[in-house]
Structure 1
Amino acid sequence: MNNKFTRTLGMLVMAGSLLSLASSCTKDLDQLPDYSANAEVVYRDPAQIQQVLARLYATFAISGQTGPAGLPDITGIDEGFSNYLRQYWQLQEITTDEAVLGWNDGNLPSVNTLQWNADNEFVRATYDRIYYEIALCNEFIRQTSDAKLSDRGISGAEAGNVRTYRAEARLLRALCYWHAIDLFGGGPFATEEAAIGTYPTYKTRAEIFSYVDTELKALDTEGLLLAPRSVYARADKGVLWTLMTKLYLNAQVYTGTERYTDAITYANKVLQAGYTLSPSYANLFLADNNKTAARNEIILPITFDGTRTKTYGGMTFLVHAAVGRAVTPVSAGINGGWSGTRAKQNLPSLFTSATDTRRNLFFTTAQNPNVDTLTAFSSGTLVTKYRNVTSTGVAGSDTEGNFPDTDFPMFRLPDVQLMYAEAVLRGGAGGSNSQALTYVNAVRARSSATPLTTLTLNDILDERGRELFWEGHRRTDLIRFGKYTTGYNWPFKGGVRAGRDVETTRVLFPLPNTDIVANPNLAGRQNPGY
């Protein structure tokens, strides 16, 4: 099917047919079928089932059925803007002290300034993307139950493989529900058990948290997921444990009850799973990061290929939007810059160690280091973190220079090391202060930053900013540390150049009015302040 969804109502309960099999997949699951068939045909063939699984992964990277534009998955916004990774990155980064996106498209300026409302198309696109992926996962899970496999004559090793695929789909769905919890709090909820054609129920933030918690624990116990690092870019046990660490580290925010000991428990599983730091920080964000030592550090990449994943979102956006003025397209391995994203001055100011090589990814030539004008690309430090060149300086595979090969590292090892340290400092059991300091200094040593002799929670927040900047973590981190809405400001926060405190309700985005109108179960359920 080539369905387009504009409301969560359709996304959650009407994906009753075959998922579209068009477009690209992860680099380990690249298969491009040239047909469209119904579920009874496709789900009788394990090879085609694998292709549908590949589409679940690809939905984080691509924006539609053809690529790069022309048949979008969701409507109501330009297809390039609608991309999952692009929208998630924007809400996590340009609403913070790390990044600014100076374009005047639609209501984008209100996202930069924390002045969005329930009709903001960029907030709505993020919401729709999350629930679109949940719907696709629900349908895949529905069609791959043991009963369905038996009815369709799939058994033995083939059935075992499909059960692993099904576990991966459940993990991807849990990841999306975590994004929903983090960004929107409560919201519509459905699983594969929901009856087709019914309205999704509303669940609170705590209720969806409880579901995700239970589902992740079940996946851990069932043992169907691949072992960590078995196949690059698959949702394996390492991804599961990292997501559990994130869920528990933020539990105090989500539910009012801390779970720091649980965060340490699952961080330890990741830290003992064989991941290793890449010798080069810069190589983590280049076009061959799926082949160099970077792949041993990346836990969950969103994969891109310049000839197979053609989109104006994702890494195409992250590479092109940061290029302009003195940062040349050829240095980034592309054919032209979009002159959009820059760093607010708060970010470079974190780098207090003169020897810290992560500073080398900031470009200040002819730039005003302070963001004095949102729309001026000359206003703010340029960032050369993501590039479409390999570690040996070769441009990516797209000979026209449009679409990058660079994978996006959604989860990687230093994030877990820093989460472990934070959970220890917040009082969780099962770790030690000395080990926490060791992990933090290992992250710093890779970039030649001066080692710390003591460790405070503020050190953790600052180190997360230095190590993980522009990787989609900052909004969640600032909220967890109580610095998002009040007491700490950055340029144009609240719509004024110096920045100001904003309403505490800004820690959540609103449920889009389009969905509240479409689903009577959401009536009266809008988040406070909207």
Structure 2
Amino acid sequence: MKKTISKFTYLSALGAFALSSCTDLVVQEKDSTIVKTTGGSTTTGNPTELLNALYNDLGVFNDQANLYSLGQHTSAEMIPPTRGVDWGDNGVWRTLHSHTWDATHAQVLNTWNTMNGRAFQCEQLLASNPSPVQAAEAKAIRAMYMYHVMDFFGQVPRRTVDQGVDALPTVLTRSEAFDFIVKDLTEALPNLPRLGPAAINARASKAMANALLARLHLNKAVYKSAKPEGPYTFDKADMDKVVQYCDAVKADGFDLDPDFFNPFTANVSKDKIFTDLQGSPRNRWMMTMHYDQGGFDAEKDGPWNGFATLAEFYDKFEANDARRFREVGFQKGYGGVHKGFLIGQQFREDKTPIVDSRSKKPLIFTRDVPLAGASTEKGIRVIKYHPADFGKYLIFRYADVHLMKTEALYRAGNTAEALKLLNELRTLRKATTATSINDDVMLRERGLELYWEGIARTDEIRFGKFNRKYQDVTNIEPYTVLFPIPALAIASNTNLKQNPGY
């Protein structure tokens, strides 16, 4: 896999690299395509190689830390318990769950660095005489990375290739960044390829851009608000645009997959809009499975016994909801590991009960799980990507698009059509049909369908549910809807201003 590395100090982002600690995680070195600096500016490179590097680097989305953890651990769907000395890591996980992070948090810095660094790689490609199609793909990918910076931090630094390594990057406000990103995607759309459903969709396409435009306009009230914490006013014209963009995605052949777990496998699925290219989403099962659940053909190593869900979230599912559980573990090659939420006694593929190799007790996953001092069996585990399925990580999928359209119709006042779409999904998932729709129903359905996919924080903020007390959350101050600008970034770029509260 190639990775573009530019030999310069990205002053707004790359003050100093701090690799966040992670239990049993091995980071492998990659081959690199080097983009050098000459004089006061950064030279350009081969656009084909640079574009390939951008796609190879999509693996950043399936890491269990940084980008994913900022969007997921800060929500009410996940908890990262410290188990003895495991997953302590100087408190980086616990502070995300409790909303007590600060400007020195390693994963806040790493996310800032990575997202801004990837966006600059797109700048390099755009300055390298790309074809119209290559330029469109670079703009779409740049928009995706800038979107995450805007969403997390509320301001976005930008430096073009011709500014020179010593120039301080300009800083876009959240409102300015929103406009810039929308412009990027709008300009890119005509030249992006029209791609339909596939087993792997690791190329920026019209459907990918339209899905991102839908998400942007669904959250426009948040990103344009004078107060990041709200309250938010959702304009009907913006909701109409969400519907337009969602319909454009469907027109390219994408749709709900009647089999909830199929999109997370190697199979073709109408749900797969934009996927990772390289490797497998291995972190997604290793981060939650118990040490003693490995050792079978699809996962020979010992998992990391990390993250769990909260009983409060698990209880939102009806017993017959297809998204809650599927028994597959006793099939050949599945190692006793089922799909969905794992609770109670765990088994081998031959139905032998697993005994915890540390405690010497039966491995029984419990509903309760403390944030600190958790024993090895505590917590309900979650498997969407199964090691036996060899799937690719999903960055955008149609179920999200379907729910964005549902929410947009609801916010625009078309509750009858919104309820119809909501129940179309619930019927596919074997859940009882809803008789009415409101904010709580809408947010709950997004969680039931999209759990552990890294977007729960954004959803909770939009619905005004982020700053509330639940298990082990100790800080509910409104300022936490934005992360701090990393202290190292502020020290190196005086154009950046720290977000309120930090």
Q: 2:451 aligns with which of 460, 469, 477?
A: 469
Q: Which residue of 1 aligns with 2:426?
A: 444
| Structure richer in helix, relative to its length | 1
Tell me the amino acid that sits aligned with residue 176 of structure 1. Answer: Y
Are 1:104 and 1:375, in contact at CA under 8 Å, matched by a contact in 2?
no
Are 2:11 and 2:168, in contact at CA under 8 Å, matched by a contact in 1?
no
Identity of aligned residues (%): 28
Tell me the amino acid that sits aligned with residue 468 of structure 1. Answer: L
Tell me the amino acid that sits aligned with residue 104 of structure 1. Answer: G
2:256 corresponds to 1:277: yes
Q: 1:338 aligns with which of 285, 298, 304?
A: 304
Over 3 Å counting, the alpha-carbon distance change for 1:2 and 1:235 in structure 2 is closer
Are 1:181 and 1:208, in contact at CA under 8 Å, matched by a contact in 2?
yes
Are 1:321 and 1:341, in contact at CA under 8 Å, matched by a contact in 2?
yes
Over 3 Å counting, the alpha-carbon distance change for 1:114 and 1:128 in structure 2 is same
In the alignment, the residues of structure 1 paired with residue 113 and residue 300 of structure 2 have an alpha-carbon distance, to the nearest angstrom, of: 30
Are 1:228 and 1:236, in contact at CA under 8 Å, matched by a contact in 2?
yes
In the alignment, the residues of structure 1 paired with residue 380 and residue 466 of structure 2 have an alpha-carbon distance, to the nearest angstrom, of: 22
In the alignment, the residues of structure 2 paired with residue 510 and residue 5 of structure 1 have an alpha-carbon distance, to the nearest angstrom, of: 24
TM-score, normalisation: structure 1: 0.75
In the alignment, the residues of structure 1 paired with residue 107 and residue 36 of structure 2 have an alpha-carbon distance, to the nearest angstrom, of: 33
2:289 corresponds to 1:323: yes
Q: 1:459 aligns with which of 441, 446, 453?
A: 441
In the alignment, the residues of structure 2 paired with residue 91 and residue 62 of structure 1 have an alpha-carbon distance, to the nearest angstrom, of: 13
Q: CA deviation at 1:116?
A: 0.4
Q: Deviations over 1:220-253 (max 9, x none)?
A: 3xx1100132872211010111101100101111
Q: Deviations over 1:273-328 (max 9, x none)?
A: 21122232122223x1xxx233x21111123326xxxxxxxx23222111106744
Tell me the amino acid that sits aligned with residue 224 of structure 1. Answer: N
In the alignment, the residues of structure 2 paired with residue 459 and residue 131 of structure 1 have an alpha-carbon distance, to the nearest angstrom, of: 35
In the alignment, the residues of structure 2 paired with residue 212 and residue 324 of structure 1 have an alpha-carbon distance, to the nearest angstrom, of: 41
Q: Which residue of 1 aligns with 2:90?
A: 106
Tell me the amino acid that sits aligned with residue 125 of structure 1. Answer: N
TM-score, normalisation: structure 2: 0.79
In the alignment, the residues of structure 2 paired with residue 172 and residue 480 of structure 1 have an alpha-carbon distance, to the nearest angstrom, of: 24
- Secondary structure at 1:357's aligned position in 2? coil
Are 1:117 and 1:510, in contact at CA under 8 Å, matched by a contact in 2?
yes
Q: CA deviation at 1:358?
A: 1.2
- Secondary structure at 1:410's aligned position in 2? strand
Q: Deviations over 1:65-88 (max 9, x none)?
A: xxxxxxxxxxxxxxxxxx867421
Are 2:406 and 2:421, in contact at CA under 8 Å, matched by a contact in 1?
yes
Q: 1:480 aligns with which of 457, 462, 470?
A: 462
> 5+ residue gaps in structure 1?
13-21, 25-31, 64-82, 146-161, 307-314, 391-404, 495-500
Q: Which residue of 2 aligns with 1:357?
A: 322
Over 3 Å counting, the alpha-carbon distance change for 1:194 and 1:167 in structure 2 is farther
In the alignment, the residues of structure 1 paired with residue 380 and residue 60 of structure 2 have an alpha-carbon distance, to the nearest angstrom, of: 29
Over 3 Å counting, the alpha-carbon distance change for 1:3 and 1:94 in structure 2 is same
Q: Which residue of 1 aligns with 2:52?
A: 54
1:95-174 alignment runs, 5 A limit: 95-102=74-81, 103-108=87-92, 109-144=94-129, 162-174=131-143
> 5+ residue gaps in structure 2?
16-27, 82-86, 226-232, 326-339, 345-363
In the alignment, the residues of structure 1 paired with residue 5 and residue 303 of structure 2 have an alpha-carbon distance, to the nearest angstrom, of: 32
Query: Greater shift after overlay, 297-306 or 407-416?
Result: 297-306
1:516-527 alignment runs, 5 A limit: 516-522=490-496, 525-527=497-499
In the alignment, the residues of structure 1 paired with residue 293 and residue 185 of structure 2 have an alpha-carbon distance, to the nearest angstrom, of: 43
Are 2:80 and 2:371, in contact at CA under 8 Å, matched by a contact in 1?
no
Tell me the amino acid that sits aligned with residue 372 of structure 1. Answer: P
- Secondary structure at 1:278's aligned position in 2? coil
Tell me the amino acid that sits aligned with residue 187 of structure 1. Answer: V
Q: Which residue of 1 aligns with 2:411?
A: 426
- Secondary structure at 1:279's aligned position in 2? coil
Q: CA deviation at 1:6?
A: 7.2
Are 1:6 and 1:128, in contact at CA under 8 Å, matched by a contact in 2?
no
Are 1:84 and 1:129, in contact at CA under 8 Å, matched by a contact in 2?
no
Over 3 Å counting, the alpha-carbon distance change for 1:183 and 1:261 in structure 2 is same
Query: Greater shift after overlay, 327-336 or 204-213?
Result: 327-336
Q: 1:492 aligns with which of 458, 465, 472?
A: 472
Q: Which residue of 2 aligns with 1:512?
A: 486
Matched length: 431
Q: Which residue of 1 aligns with 2:382?
A: 383
Tell me the amino acid that sits aligned with residue 478 of structure 2. Answer: T
- Secondary structure at 1:213's aligned position in 2? helix
Over 3 Å counting, the alpha-carbon distance change for 1:224 and 1:105 in structure 2 is same
Q: 2:152 aligns with which of 169, 179, 183?
A: 183
Q: Which residue of 2 aligns with 1:253?
A: 222
Q: Deviations over 1:472-495 (max 9, x none)?
A: 110000000001013xx321111x
Q: Which residue of 1 aligns with 2:19?
A: none
Are 2:135 and 2:188, in contact at CA under 8 Å, matched by a contact in 1?
no
1:171-320 alignment runs, 5 A limit: 171-192=140-161, 194-220=163-189, 223-229=190-196, 232-256=201-225, 258=234, 259-286=238-265, 288=266, 292-294=267-269, 296-305=270-279, 315-320=281-286
In the alignment, the residues of structure 2 paired with residue 380 and residue 246 of structure 1 have an alpha-carbon distance, to the nearest angstrom, of: 32
Over 3 Å counting, the alpha-carbon distance change for 1:2 and 1:204 in structure 2 is closer
Q: Which residue of 2 aligns with 1:367?
A: 365
Q: CA deviation at 1:38?
A: 7.0
Q: Alignment RMSD, CA only?
A: 2.9
In the alignment, the residues of structure 2 paired with residue 440 and residue 177 of structure 1 have an alpha-carbon distance, to the nearest angstrom, of: 30
In the alignment, the residues of structure 2 paired with residue 316 and residue 194 of structure 1 have an alpha-carbon distance, to the nearest angstrom, of: 39
In the alignment, the residues of structure 1 paired with residue 69 and residue 297 of structure 2 have an alpha-carbon distance, to the nearest angstrom, of: 24
Are 2:298 and 2:388, in contact at CA under 8 Å, matched by a contact in 1?
yes
Q: CA deviation at 1:51?
A: 3.1
- Secondary structure at 1:515's aligned position in 2? helix
